[in-house]
Structure 1
Amino acid sequence: MARTLRGARIGVVVLVLLTLAGAYHFGIFARVAEPKALAETLVEMGAWGYLAFILAYTVLQPFGVPGTIFVVAAPLIWPWQTAFALSMIGTMCASVVGFSFARFVAKDWISARIPARLRKYDESLARNAFQTVVVLRLIFWMPQVLHSFFGVSKVGFWTHFWGSLVGYVPPLLLVSYLGGEMFDASGRLQTDAWPILAGLLIASLLIAALARTYERRRLSGGPRSSRPARGR
């Protein structure tokens, strides 16, 4: 059984490496290097662009390609409702792939490389996993290292899934709806976008602070309320 599991893990790693090598060979990395190039490619594909967007996002983002390239490109091509839906699907699929790869394929190797700035959230995940996942996704979005951190942590798959979904909604909705005002045709950030991003950052930090305050009050009040009253 152990040998079979080891063989399966090696097979997955080989498949990932072959996929990335194929993407490099066929110039896919060059096309997704910036939002403008990605947008032009997807427009040329017509209706197949929807599927290509999700597949490329799912396969490439967990292994190095920044997810913001896809999120920024989407509103340059489609109406904001379509851009938001595709960005959510692609982001969730990429998160699941990154989480699953870290948990089931390369847990020991990845666990040794998780930065200390994320390790400090281990205790929060143990106390309140869902809330912590929401806050971290809301603040940091979708970096590969965060997928890996959740994968090697003790947080459950579905807790990670639903917590990530909730945490992704505000930033992805904002970028999809205001993408035309935040980015130019080349996908570069416009000057007028800085107040919007600052507002999103402030809102995210405020939500995180409120969540921590609520958690501290709940934990500090819990032990006292659980003590039985002494008789006189």
Structure 2
Amino acid sequence: MTRSLRNVKLGVVGLVLIMLAAAWYFGVFARLGEPRALAQVLVEMGAWGYLAFIITYTVLQPFGVPGSIFIVAAPLIWPWQTAFALSMVGTMSASVVGFSFARFVARDWISARIPTRLRKYDEALERSAFQTVVVLRLILWMPQVLHSFFGVSKVGFWTHFWGSLVGYVPPLLLVSYLGAEMFDASGKMQPAAWPIMTGLLVASLVIAAFARAYERRRLSSSPRELRVVQRG
């Protein structure tokens, strides 16, 4: 690693630390303690609340703030269509930041700390990267460790981007559309949320099972197709 590149990486790390310290100093973390507090602040900002929502989500979620705070707060503030659009933009932006930070800034440090339960997907990413990204995003959503795992893996940037986009659509659409039924004004889950979340989980597992079955079938047929080509 050249000295200039090392300095750039240290500068990015320093900038992240400064942004987190500023967020703490100005009470952003305190306001994020519950979705209702976040909703009140954004409503008071009017149209600027859209931009504040996306920037805050993008900057803070990759470095420790749960994304669920934002996607739960959105339908408490705006119509579900607006909530869905802003949740998608914020979630994708945060995913790109987390992915890029792991790949280009702190790859070695993060790679040594990826849980074993995610490492088992390395081989699946090499075989079918797009499909694996979609399934993992569909089931696990947006944890910071998943951003990091994709960042230190061999998956390409655009494969990660489009796979994440596809995987995020069902859960974010569901939360945005049924947010008022799933959560109360304080962001706590209501009884009606459990069957909805259970249905989403079951649907995600079924999709993952079909994806795995398709991949196994494709791999098992590949040698046969290769032999046919060789004979021809």
**Superposition TM-score tier, normalisation by shorter sequence:** over 0.9
Q: Which residue of 1 aligns with 2:156?
A: 156
Q: Which residue of 1 aligns with 2:4?
A: 4
1:228: how far off? 4.0
| 2-structure distance, mates of 1:225, 1:133 | 26
Query: Pairwise CA RMSD of aligned residues?
Result: 1.1
1:230: how far off? 9.0
| 2-structure distance, mates of 1:27, 1:45 | 16
Gap runs ≥5 in structure 2: none
1:229: how far off? 7.8
The one-letter code of the counterpart of 1:172 is L
Gap runs ≥5 in structure 1: none
Q: Which residue of 1 aligns with 2:73?
A: 73
Q: Which residue of 2 aligns with 1:40?
A: 40
The one-letter code of the counterpart of 2:79 is P
The one-letter code of the counterpart of 2:69 is I
Q: Which residue of 2 aligns with 1:185?
A: 185
1:33: how far off? 1.5
Q: Structure 1 length normalisation: TM-score?
A: 0.98
| 1-structure distance, mates of 2:206, 2:86 | 28
Secondary structure class of the residue paired with 2:113: coil
Q: Deviations over 1:180-202 (max 9, x none)?
A: 10001111100111000000000
| 1-structure distance, mates of 2:174, 2:228 | 48
| 1-structure distance, mates of 2:14, 2:228 | 58
The one-letter code of the counterpart of 2:208 is A
| 1:1-232 mapped onto 2 (5 Å cutoff) | 2-228=2-228
Secondary structure class of the residue paired with 1:124: helix
Change (3 A) 1:217 1:25: same
Secondary structure class of the residue paired with 1:189: coil
| 2-structure distance, mates of 1:76, 1:150 | 31
1:210: how far off? 0.2
Q: Deviations over 1:27-84 (max 9, x none)?
A: 0011112111111110111111000000000000000000000000000000000000
Which runs of 4 or more aligned residues in structure 1 lie more than 6 Å from their structure 2 counterparts after TM superposition?
none
Change (3 A) 1:119 1:81: same
Report how many residues are paired: 231
| 2-structure distance, mates of 1:2, 1:170 | 43
Q: Structure 2 length normalisation: TM-score?
A: 0.98
The one-letter code of the counterpart of 1:98 is G
| 2-structure distance, mates of 1:219, 1:203 | 24
| 1-structure distance, mates of 2:33, 2:102 | 25
| 2-structure distance, mates of 1:133, 1:124 | 9
Percent identity, aligned pairs only, is 79
Change (3 A) 1:11 1:230: closer
The one-letter code of the counterpart of 2:219 is L
1:225: how far off? 1.8
Q: Deviations over 1:116-139 (max 9, x none)?
A: 000000000000000000000000
